Chain A
Amino acid sequence: MIDDLEDLLKAAVVEVFGTMIGLQVQLEPPHAPVVNTGATIAGAVGFIGRVTGVVYIYAPVELAVRLTEKLLHLSASEIEQKELVNDSMGELANMIVGHLKSRLSDRGLSCAMTIPSIVRGTNFQIEPVSSTIRRVFSFRSLEHQLVVEIMLRPESQA
Chain B
Amino acid sequence: MGRKILTVDDSRTIRLIVTRAFKDYDIDMFEAQNGVEGLAVAARERPDLIILDYTMPLMDGYEMLTKLKSDPGLKSIPVIMLTAEAGRESVLKIAKQGVRDYLIKPFREEVIVERVSRIIDLKPKGEATLKARRYDDALQILVVDDKQAIIGQIGSGLKDTAWQIEGAASTALAMESCGRAVPDVVLISLSLPENGAYTLFQMMRAGARTKSVPVFGLCVKTAVEEQARAQQVGFSGIITKPIDFEDVKLKLTRALGLDTSYKYFSQKDGVLVLQLPPTFNPTVASDILLHLRNQVTGAVDAGLDKLVIDMSPLKTADITLIKLGLSSLQLCSELAVKSALIGSEAVTKECKNYEETKDLRFVTSHAEALSVLGVQPAVA
Residues of chain A touching chain B, judged by Cβ–Cβ distance below 8 Å, are: 15-16, 19-20, 22, 68, 71-73, 83-84, 87-88, 90-91, 94-95, 97-99, 101-102, 104-106, 110, 113, 115
Which residues of B lie under 8 Å from residue A115 when comparing CB positions?
A: 10, 55-57
Among A72, A90, A99, A102, the one with the most B-chain Cβ atoms within 10 Å of its Cβ is A102
Asked whether B84 lies within 8 Å of A95 as measured between CB atoms, the reply is: yes
Which residues of B lie under 8 Å from residue A95 when comparing CB positions?
A: 84, 105-106
Closest Cβ neighbor of B12 among chain A residues: A87
Which secondary structure dominates chain A's binding surface?
helix
CB interface residues, B 52-110, toward A, < 8 Å: 55-57, 83-90, 104-108
Residues of chain B touching chain A, judged by Cβ–Cβ distance below 8 Å, are: 10-14, 16-17, 20, 55-57, 83-90, 104-108, 180
Contact partner of A15 among B13, B56, B106, CB < 8 A?
A: B106
Given A71-B17, A72-B20; A94-B11 close (CB under 8 Å): yes
Given A98-B84, A102-B87, A105-B90; A19-B107 close (CB under 8 Å): yes
Contact partner of B88 among A19, A20, A72, A106, CB < 8 A?
A: A106
Which residues of B lie under 8 Å from residue A72 when comparing CB positions?
A: 13, 16-17, 20
Closest Cβ neighbor of A109 among chain B residues: B87
Contact partner of A105 among B13, B57, B89, CB < 8 A?
A: B89
Which residues of B lie under 8 Å from residue A94 when comparing CB positions?
A: 11, 55, 84, 105
Asked whether A101 lies within 8 Å of B85 as measured between CB atoms, the reply is: yes
Closest Cβ neighbor of A93 among chain B residues: B84
Asked whether A113 lies within 8 Å of B17 as measured between CB atoms, the reply is: no
Which residues of A lie under 8 Å from residue B12 when comparing CB positions?
A: 83-84, 87
Separation of A144 and B52 alpha carbons in the complex (Å): 34
Given contacts A90-B13, A110-B87, A113-B55, 11 further A-B contacts (CB under 8 A): A19-B108, A87-B11, A88-B13, A91-B13, A98-B83, A102-B90, A105-B85, A105-B90, A106-B88, A110-B89, A113-B84
Which residues of A lie under 8 Å from residue B17 when comparing CB positions?
A: 20, 71-72
The 5 A-B residue pairs with the shortest CB-CB distance, nearest first, are A98-B84, A105-B87, A102-B86, A19-B106, A20-B106
